[in-house]
Amino acid sequence: MERQTVTKVPKPATRNHSVQRQSAAPSSPSHRITELQRSIGNQATQRLINSPFIQAKRAPQQIQRVVEVRPPGRGEASAFDRRDELIARMNAISAATDFTLDGRVIRFAERAGGVANNFEQQMRALITRAEVLPMRLITSAGTVGGQNILVDFFDEGYVDLDDLLASDDLGFQLNLIHFLTERANARNYEHRMGTRFPDPEFDRAHRAGSDAEAELLRNVIGDPTIRFNYEERRPNGTAVLAFRSNEGYRVFKVFRGAGQARRHSVIFVQTRDGRRLTVDQLRAERAAAAAPAPAAPAPAPAAPVPPGAPGPELP
Ligand SMILES: [Zn+2]
């Protein structure tokens, strides 16, 4: 996801050494945030050292070993006891994969009779990577630096289970694939979690997450030309992620409700001629256009966007 604004505070000039970073601006907000992150990071590291999964990770016969759920720090708004809700949702949208929790580790097995969709394929690939990808589960009451988290918080490894589960199935898939791919694209994420990652590294990882979303959309819609287009944070705090097809339509993923603890994504399509469709309506239109005559009746058109309206019309 987008990085939270809390990480956008002015940074001390010296960033490559933690001791210098601490002394650079002892009373600044960034200092306090850094302290928070460092504190949490140390706790996480200590928990990891004490964890039995270190041994599991080193076992040579382990192949699936990497995507883990974990509790946040002591006293934080933990959703760890609801971890089964995450697994249940993943299974509900999978056709050929059974996800299970083995302690804190998410594993998968093939489910007979189905064909794995792109979400399942990407999840399987993430699970069989060498790197450990932790998810520290919190509720929507969890904050960083006093601010609510939008789905996830990269530096700390947080995942807001309430936000994640609040989106519809496609949004859930896109958001989960995004931040796990993001974490997989940061070198040694597991052990650096709890520190502040350099902006260029985060930006690169974030872009990989958006590209993974585009891959999922290409598969869901059946259009190999869909690419990540742009993202923006509107003045009212609404977050927009846009994907574009060579056919001229765009797919938007939008998070409204800035400032609210629980936020979910809404996904819609804006056609070249300015109509707004659901993804299912787009699929139906494309299927009808591709079918030999006599074509299936077109779905009812969605409410048109006023001509000349720039971009998606958002409240
Ligand atoms: Zn991201």
- The DSSP code for 304 is B
Cα 152 to ligand 1 centroid, rounded to whole Å: 8
Q: What is the pLDDT of residue 314?
A: 58
Answer yes or no: is pLDDT of 50 > 80: no
The rounded mean pLDDT for the chain is 81
Full domain range(s) for residue 165: 5-216
Residue bearing the bigger pLDDT, 182 or 38 = 182
The domain tally of the chain equals: 2
Cα 209 to ligand 1 centroid, rounded to whole Å: 6
Of 200, 216, 232, the last residue of a domain is: 216
Cα 8 to ligand 1 centroid, rounded to whole Å: 14
Cα 265 to ligand 1 centroid, rounded to whole Å: 14
- How far from 262 is each of 99, 149, 159, 164, 176, CA to CA, in Å? 26, 9, 12, 9, 16
Of 216, 246, 275, the last residue of a domain is: 216
- Confidence band, pLDDT 50/70/90 cuts, at residue 132: very high
Specify the range with the lowest mean pLDDT, choosing from 60-74, 152-166, 172-186, 291-305.
291-305
Do 187 and 240 fall into the same domain?
Answer: no
- Confidence band, pLDDT 50/70/90 cuts, at residue 25: very low
**Mean per-residue pLDDT, 301-314:** 57
CA dist 299 and 146 (Å) reads: 46
Contact 19, 43 (CB under 8 A): no
**Mean per-residue pLDDT, 181-189:** 95
Nearest 5°: phi and psi at 313?
-85, 115
Residue bearing the bigger pLDDT, 2 or 138 = 138
Q: How many CA atoms lie within 13 A of 53 on its CB side?
A: 22
Cα 29 to ligand 1 centroid, rounded to whole Å: 23
3-state SS, residue 130: coil
Do 164 and 104 fall into the same domain?
Answer: yes
Cα 173 to ligand 1 centroid, rounded to whole Å: 14
CA dist 120 and 110 (Å) reads: 10
Nearest 5°: phi and psi at 280?
-65, -40
Q: What is the pLDDT of residue 65?
A: 62
Do 183 and 204 fall into the same domain?
Answer: yes
Do 71 and 129 fall into the same domain?
Answer: yes
Of 197, 216, 235, the last residue of a domain is: 216
Answer yes or no: is pLDDT of 20 > 60: no
Cα 300 to ligand 1 centroid, rounded to whole Å: 35
Cα 13 to ligand 1 centroid, rounded to whole Å: 25
User: Which pairs with CB-CB distance under 8 Å and at least 24 residues apart come from 240-244?
Assistant: 240/312, 240/314, 241/210, 241/213, 242/312, 243/213, 243/214, 243/217
Q: What is the pLDDT of residue 37?
A: 34
Highest mean pLDDT among 23-27, 44-48, 281-285: 281-285
Do 191 and 64 fall into the same domain?
Answer: yes
Cα 10 to ligand 1 centroid, rounded to whole Å: 20
Cα 32 to ligand 1 centroid, rounded to whole Å: 23
Cα 2 to ligand 1 centroid, rounded to whole Å: 5
Amino acid at residue number 240: V
- How far from 187 is each of 150, 197, 198, CA to CA, in Å? 23, 10, 12
Answer yes or no: is pLDDT of 307 > 70: no
**Mean per-residue pLDDT, 108-134:** 94
Cα 159 to ligand 1 centroid, rounded to whole Å: 12
Do 148 and 22 fall into the same domain?
Answer: yes
CA dist 87 and 98 (Å) reads: 9
- Confidence band, pLDDT 50/70/90 cuts, at residue 302: low
3-state SS, residue 73: coil
Specify the range with the lowest mean pLDDT, choosing from 132-141, 218-227, 302-311.
302-311
- Strands, E, within 187-298: which ranges? 227-233, 239-244, 250-255, 265-270, 276-277
Q: What is the pLDDT of residue 104?
A: 95
Cα 303 to ligand 1 centroid, rounded to whole Å: 31
Do 144 and 240 fall into the same domain?
Answer: no
Do 154 and 97 fall into the same domain?
Answer: yes
